[in-house]
A and B are shown apart, each in its own frame.
Chain A
Amino acid sequence: MSSGPALPDAVPPAEPVGGSGGEAAGAEVLGQPEIARALTRIAHEVLERNKGAADLVLLGIPTRGLPLAQRLAARLAEVEPGLDPTAVAGSLDVTMYRDDLHKHPTRALGATDLPAAGIDDRVVVLVDDVLFSGRTIRAALDALNDLGRPRAVQLAVLVDRGHRELPIRADYVGKNLPTSLAEKVRVRLVETDGVDSVRIDGGAR
């Protein structure tokens, strides 16, 4: 009954793994300033696309989507005066909606915490760290379906590493990262891992 963090994507050899260790191997593709700039850009793109922050809800997918959603909300609040970042950001645990539960050891459940106003008739921006097979996002769409009926759902990811298995694409991408299936993309954030970095490990190198 062991359980790891709710990992953002499904295929075992290529998932971002939390925690420290493996510091030497691989290459850092995004550091702290790059991640900060990407999030600032995404925040502005979200505001531009939605013509302001009215009716916006940012739902982070645990584990690492959640701090990203909170950072995005803080940036929205900097640009849009009067916006309360805590009333915009929430979390959406998709573990119980996954289609690959039986392929992994049991996962710990994360918390689902919607803003008080709910999601009905609002624009929901799902936030995750890595977009890979798309199965996490499919599970998130199913979970949203049980929670309410948003007017629109958009997707923001820090890294899009390709290899989609479902017809899903991101509306806002921090960085497109072409990878091979043998490589691992590791996203680490200050809130969960003590440091901001995106690395590619393993693969032919």
Chain B
Amino acid sequence: MRHLLSAADLDRTTAIEVLDAAAQMAATQAREIKKLPTLRGRTVVNLFFEDSTRTRISFETAAKRLSADVINFAAKGSSVSKGESLKDTAQTLQAMGADAVVIRHPASGAPHRLAHSGWVGTSVVNAGDGTHQHPTQALLDAYTIRRHLTGTTANPDGVGNDLAGLRVAIVGDVLHSRVARSNVQLLHTLGAEVTLVSPPTLVPVGAEAWPCSISYHLDAVLADQQPDAIMMLRVQRERMGGDRTGATGFFPSPLEYTRSFGLDSRRLRMLPDHAIVLHPGPMNRGLEISAEAADSPRAVILEQVANGVAVRMAVLYLLLAQERETLA
């Protein structure tokens, strides 16, 4: 594995290998001294052309816990605002000796371009591009689901397991969600049955070809399928336009969206007892998820954040802790 650009790049064996490595990384994060010397002398650049809190901090923490040097680059306040191109920016960073570039970009495909254009010789990790892919988020979701639903007393992290037979519902704004796209691919690769639940206006064209089923009715899915895990997606209103009343071209009003697709206490009670609630964050409390659901013991949302560090440590380890020559 040279780059991590898409959840579709990971086959079942590789995905389980990443999750198992993440389990060992997570174990080291319970120690008093959390820092490992593994990537000493390597440099990781966080190249963020789009706002992000948890993903950037998570990658930064992961790299630092492995002793890599971290350079944070945010497009705001940089020469990008003077019109510097992605190519020139990336080559500048390469000249400063970066070994890996973690990139988030509003344009779908920007990480792929960076990895395959020959501009730079570094490993490229996609930290979210447009409405395309966010593979490390899918990995941390899969890790969280695996730990909670396949873990046993003897094997609390579910090391070596896949997600065969588990039912996962992904609910909400699928159209704008790279998290949903990556999760559908990765969870399917790992053997889970994925159902997308969304208003028809927020189902992307071509989604019927994805390896999942699609429903427009959350209550019916909860009652009939009894999902083992439910993932609420953020309604990405910054990508929807809309007026001051909250109405958009995608749904008539926030209240109507909440009534049809929000996870409230009634829907929480419809879930089976072992089911967990995920959300990639940041949450719109009161819109796609009620405060009661977000703060319930079934919500593993903060654990997702903690697991994100372990998963990103595993990805950086697997990409960087190998022959330097092959990276040239």
Compute how far the CA of A96 lies from the CA of B27 in the bound complex, rounded to whole angstroms: 13
User: When the two chains form their complex, are residues B17 and A108 in contact, meaning their CB atoms are under 8 A apart?
Assistant: yes
Compute how far the CA of A156 lies from the CA of B322 in the bound complex, rounded to whole angstroms: 29
Against B, the Cβ 8 Å flags (1 = close, 0 = not) of A1-16 are 1010000000000000
User: When the two chains form their complex, are residues B37 and A109 in contact, meaning their CB atoms are under 8 A apart?
Assistant: no
Compute how far the CA of A109 lies from the CA of B25 in the bound complex, rounded to whole angstroms: 9
Among B17, B20, B37, point to the contact of A97 (Cβ < 8 A).
Answer: B37
User: When the two chains form their complex, are residues B17 and A3 in contact, meaning their CB atoms are under 8 A apart?
Assistant: yes
Q: Does A18 contact B (CB under 8 A)?
A: no
Compute how far the CA of A42 lies from the CA of B74 in the bound complex, rounded to whole angstroms: 58
Known interface pairs A101-B38, A109-B20, A112-B27; A146-B322 also in contact (CB < 8 Å): no
User: When the two chains form their complex, are residues B323 and A105 in contact, meaning their CB atoms are under 8 A apart?
Assistant: yes
Known interface pairs A106-B317, A109-B24; A97-B323 also in contact (CB < 8 Å): no
Q: Does A190 contact B (CB under 8 A)?
A: no
Q: Does A51 contact B (CB under 8 A)?
A: no
User: When the two chains form their complex, are residues A104 and B24 in contact, meaning their CB atoms are under 8 A apart?
Assistant: no
A139 CB, min distance to chain B CBs, angstroms: 9
User: When the two chains form their complex, are residues A102 and B24 in contact, meaning their CB atoms are under 8 A apart?
Assistant: no
Chain A residue nearest to B1 (CB atoms) is A1
Chain A residue nearest to B324 (CB atoms) is A102
Chain B residue nearest to A142 (CB atoms) is B37
Chain B residue nearest to A148 (CB atoms) is B32
Known interface pairs A1-B318, A96-B38, A147-B31; A104-B17 also in contact (CB < 8 Å): no
Compute how far the CA of A147 lies from the CA of B35 in the bound complex, rounded to whole angstroms: 11
Residues of B within 8 A of A147 (CB): 31, 33
What is the size category of the interface that chain A forms with chain B? 20 to 34
User: When the two chains form their complex, are residues B20 and A108 in contact, meaning their CB atoms are under 8 A apart?
Assistant: yes
Q: Does B260 contact A (CB under 8 A)?
A: no
Q: Does A111 contact B (CB under 8 A)?
A: yes
Residues of A within 8 A of B322 (CB): 101-102, 104-106
User: When the two chains form their complex, are residues B37 and A112 in contact, meaning their CB atoms are under 8 A apart?
Assistant: no
Known interface pairs A111-B27, A146-B31, A146-B33; A101-B321 also in contact (CB < 8 Å): yes
Q: Does B247 contact A (CB under 8 A)?
A: no
Residues of A within 8 A of B36 (CB): 96-97, 146
Q: Does A110 contact B (CB under 8 A)?
A: yes
Residues of B within 8 A of A146 (CB): 31, 33, 35-36
Against A, the Cβ 8 Å flags (1 = close, 0 = not) of B19-34 are 0110011011001010
Q: Does B14 contact A (CB under 8 A)?
A: yes
User: Which residues of B approach A to under 8 Å, CB–CB?
Assistant: 1, 14, 17, 20-21, 24-25, 27-28, 31, 33, 35-38, 66, 317-318, 321-324
The 6 closest A-B pairs by CB, nearest first: A1-B1, A109-B24, A96-B38, A146-B33, A101-B321, A96-B36
- Other A-B pairs, 11, CB within 8 Å; known A93-B24, A96-B36, A110-B24: A1-B1, A1-B17, A96-B28, A96-B38, A96-B321, A97-B38, A101-B322, A102-B321, A108-B20, A142-B37, A146-B31
Q: List 22 A-B contacts (CB under 8 A).
A: A1-B14, A1-B17, A96-B36, A96-B37, A97-B37, A101-B38, A101-B321, A101-B322, A102-B322, A102-B324, A104-B322, A105-B322, A105-B323, A106-B317, A106-B321, A108-B20, A109-B317, A111-B27, A112-B28, A146-B31, A146-B35, A147-B33
User: Which residues of A approach B to under 8 Å, CB–CB?
Assistant: 1, 3, 93, 96-97, 101-112, 142, 146-147
